[in-house]
Amino acid sequence: MRRLDLWRSTPFRLALSFAFLVVLVFLLSGLIVYQLMRADLSARLDAAAHEAFSVISATYAGGDLEDLVAAVDSHSRLVPGKEQLFSLTGAKGEHLAGNLTVSDVPAGFSIIDDRTTGVPEGSSYRAYSGKVGDNSLTVALGVSRTEALEGIMLKGFGWATVIISCLAVAAGALLALRLQRRLDAIAHTMGEVSQGRLAARIPLIGNGDDIDGVSAQVNAALDRLSALVDGMRQVSSDIAHDLKTPLNRLQMTLEAADEKAAAGKDVSGEIVEALAESGQINETFEALLRIAQIEAGARKARFADLSLDSVMDTIAEIYADVAEDNGMTLSVRKTLQGPGGLVHGDSELLTQLFANLVENSLRHCPRGTQIELAVRRDGDLVVATVADNGPGIPKDEHDKVFQRLYRLDKSRSTSGSGLGLSLVRAIADLHSAVIRLEDRAPGLAVNVDFPAADGGR
């Protein structure tokens, strides 16, 4: 990745922000720890000074000034160098003992440095001063060791900050680079798709994280898109193939009519035939348009709770006489009591669905066929069935018959566009229903499983 692209990368900027936050938290935590340790060291130094003052002043318990002077001189000699300073002054301010000649140190704790008489140059001390009888005793402990410890802490903290910063930036950049590669893979795949290569898919790592989840959803959407495009191509091919024959017949009919008209003969028969052919072509396009509208979900706004029993009764009333005229019987089998057959849907479309199924049986079954309509309850489903004892459909053709313009070889001699069952499938999908074809040997049963409107209650 180029440097400019890296700075524009959202993962890298997020990683830098996270690294900055880590360093900031570390700095704040370190500052708090430093202040606590500094306060503890100061408290320990104060305690040591006060303890030394108490030990020395205890020698004056009997009012013996010589013992007090001896104790101060003894402590002054025992301490090497100038790490500790002691001063004993009398009531008039005269120096009595110790390695520090100072008389103006305030009572209690204070800081004295080389500006105070007797303090070595460049040194600082934590002093405790108080009265011992009429005398003043001062005990001063050097802060050089405490300052050295503080310096070590600051130096260690500084190096730790540098190391933490480098590690945070490096880890953030590594994570950002890994994430950016996955985003680049997504962008590359979408670029491939935009160029028409619909087989391209986003590679999945398989760890189940958010990016994998989104990538899987995008891949599923691409699968659907690819299937839709393939379907469109297939439909276009089918339309071109299936409409070629009627268009050729229409052309031949019109040419024959033209020749008869030129010869002064009657062309009414050819006109009637041409009108029939054009009507069939028009019906095919209207059916395709209707399927497309249904698949787009345009009719869902008209959905309402309705009874499939009443829909079946309407179908039976419409087609009973038609079946009788074709030498067949059409009956309805009642299996539900009360409102058990309620579904959520469009009454007109559901009527169209079952009308197409019944017409399919009427068109392709011989005389004497029995057609039965039924509605039953199966748990959370309402199952509607259109069954007959006709020739049926070969099992290997069950899925194909729902394709647009697909027709069985034995049915090509009968009228129809090959879109009736495609419309059935589109309406079923719109209602979230599942179609199952069942071989009755002989005959065929078409089961349509609808979600019950009452949710199984």
pLDDT digit string, tens, across residues 359-408: 888 988 888 899 999 999 888 899 999 999 888 887 777 777 777 666 55
pTM summary value:
0.50
Burial of 368 (0-12, 13-18, 19+ CB in 10 A): exposed
| Residues in contact with 327: Cβ distance below 8 Å, sequence separation at least 6, in sequence order | 367, 368
pLDDT of residue 410: 44
Task: Please state, in angstroms and as integers, the Cα–Cα distance from residue 376 to each residue in 336, 338, 355, following that order.
Answer: 6, 12, 19
Min mean pLDDT across 86-90, 255-259, 338-342, 443-447 is at: 338-342
Phi first, then psi, for residue 347 (nearest 5°) are -60, -40
| Residues in contact with 414: Cβ distance below 8 Å, sequence separation at least 6, in sequence order | 363, 364
**Backbone Cα Rg of the chain:** 50
pLDDT of residue 190: 87
Burial of 448 (0-12, 13-18, 19+ CB in 10 A): buried
Task: Please state, in angstroms and as integers, the Cα–Cα distance from residue 169 to each residue in 3, 31, 159, 162, 447, following that order.
Answer: 16, 21, 15, 11, 63
Tens digit of each residue's pLDDT (9 = 90 or more) over 317-345: 999 899 898 999 999 887 776 666 788 98
Tens digit of each residue's pLDDT (9 = 90 or more) over 194-223: 888 888 888 888 777 777 888 888 888 888
Q: How confident is the model at residue 34 (pLDDT cuts 50, 70, 90)?
A: confident
Pairwise CA distance, residues 102 & 107, whole Å: 13
Within 308-393, residue ranges assigned H as helices are 308-325, 347-364
Pairwise CA distance, residues 295 & 428, whole Å: 10
Would you say residue 50 has pLDDT above 80?
yes
Q: Return the sign of the alpha-carbon dihedral for residues 274, 240, 401, 394.
A: positive
| Section 430-452 average pLDDT | 89
Give the DSSP per-residue string, 200-262: ------SS--HHHHHHHHHHHHHHHHHHHHHHHHHHHHHHHHHHHHHHHHHHHHHHHHHHHHH
Task: Please state, in angstroms and as integers, the Cα–Cα distance from residue 50 to each residue in 54, 57, 134, 140, 190, following that order.
Answer: 6, 10, 19, 10, 77
Within 263-346, residue ranges assigned H as helices are 268-295, 308-325
